[in-house]
Amino acid sequence: MTHDTCLLSQKPIPVADRLIFALDVPGPDAARALVETLGDAVTFYKIGLELFMAGGYFELLDWLRARDKKVFVDLKFFDVPETVRAAVRQLAPHGASVATVHGNDAILRAAVEAAGEQGGDLGILAVTALTSLDQADLNDLGFACDPKTLVLSRARRALEIGCRGVISSGLEAAELRRNLGDKLLVITPGIRPVLNRPADDQKRTLDVEDAFLSGADHIVIGRPIRQAPDPRAAAAAIQARIARLFATTGVV
């Protein structure tokens, strides 16, 4: 894969925050134990639906914030606009950095407006196309276009509405950067930092350096860290790769 190094993120993001760990575990006790294990190797956590359904979600969010961890709330709000607006109002006081919303312009606009009303720093992230979907899946869902076209269209609308950023596969991040510049935060899940990627439910994946050189601002990694024999060492190794990439290209 060839890269245009000018796509490397220029945003003033602390290098340690560029890795977001997906805290996908069965419950809050397991989550807290894993956070303690990872220590200072991870500064930014994504907490999603599994933990939400386990109970104690907001208590966990507050616990992370009390330890100076940044939090990405990945609940993909998708409902009628006023319901999404109300949900974002409930979330905003808890100090999360960003939250995902999945829907049309009216839904995204309601979320952005609700986040702004609270006077905090909650950013809304628009979901473009899940990294678990490939072209065949999009065809099944009735989208008469390729993933890049769909992602770029949704990202343009998200930017116009005032979203802080988008969730996008690294395979589409370069197209976003070339068309939209540095205006949107691009968070890229589905990162598989291994040479021989095992089969799993992520179909549109990239390695660590590939994702950043394609324009990602943050990458989201879960299983490759969580399932490692030494999760802290695995996270630290990825952090070292990220720091080396940004240091050698002059971006800090």
**Annotated active-site positions, please?**
76
Instruction: Give how far Cα 142 sits from Cα of 136, 138, 145, 168, 171, Å.
Output: 10, 6, 9, 20, 21
| DSSP letter (8 states) at residue 7 | G
Q: Residue 98 pairs with which residues in a beta bridge? A: 72, 123
Calculate the CA 43 to chain-centre distance.
Answer: 14
Count Cβ atoms below 10 Å from residue 150 Cβ, excluding itself: 18
SS3 state at 90: helix
DSSP H helical segments within 98-252, as ranges? 105-117, 135-140, 147-161, 170-180, 208-213, 223-226, 231-248
The runs of H, that is alpha helices, within 56-134 are 57-66, 81-91, 105-117
Helix (H) or strand (E) holding 186: strand 185-188
Q: In the chain, what is the straight-line distance between the N-terminal and C-terminal CA atoms, in Å?
A: 24
What secondary structure does DSSP assign to 149-170, as a single string? Answer: HHHHHHHHHHHHHT-SEEE--H
